[in-house]
Amino acid sequence: MNIKTFATVIFAFGLYLTARAQDSAAGSLPAPSTKTGVTYATDIKPIFDHSCVKCHSGEKPKGHLKLDALEGILKGGKDGKILTAGDSANSFVVKAIAHITDDDDDYMPPVQNKAHIGPLKPEEIALIRAWIDQGAK
């Protein structure tokens, strides 16, 4: 095998591994809820109020990310936006709450947190996914 062929095989294998990793991550997400008309005020705020705002509100929210109002969620934090309306599977917030990020430090809520808040339930993640896919309004 010549070097060009070898390089092509290695490149193709890298693409294959990347696709498998993306499929694996997407596969571990709960499917979006089938509920229609999901809104922040009615459906999502109660979830965030219970699981997120203890750390992500007030004068010094963690990561400069405020999750106590829709405006803060859409704005994002110090690391940028946390969601892309219409694309829940690739929104950071979904990966963080589903605990499928590349860095355990990004798990939300953190596995060990001072408020002893447990992970979000699959049905809560599914509802957040539906909200994002429906435009995050």
Instruction: Name the band, by pLDDT with cuts 50, 70 and 90, for residue 2.
Output: low
* Residue 69 Cα distances to 78, 79, 92, 101, 109, angstroms: 17, 18, 18, 24, 18
CB-based contacts of 82, cutoff 8 Å, min separation 6: 65, 73, 76, 91, 92, 93, 96
* Residue 126 Cα distances to 55, 64, 129, angstroms: 22, 25, 5
DSSP H helices, the chain, are 3-27, 45-51, 70-75, 92-97, 122-133
In this prediction, residue 19 carries a pLDDT of 40
pLDDT digit string, tens, across residues 12-27? 444 444 444 443 444 5
Question: For 121, phi and psi rounded to 5 degrees?
Answer: -75, 150
Pick 103 or 47 by higher pLDDT: 47
pLDDT digit string, tens, across residues 74-131? 999 999 999 999 999 999 999 999 999 888 889 999 998 888 999 999 999 999 999 9
d(CA 44, CA 37): 12
The domain limits of the chain are: 31-133
Q: Residue 8 pLDDT > 60, yes or no?
A: no
d(CA 25, CA 37): 27
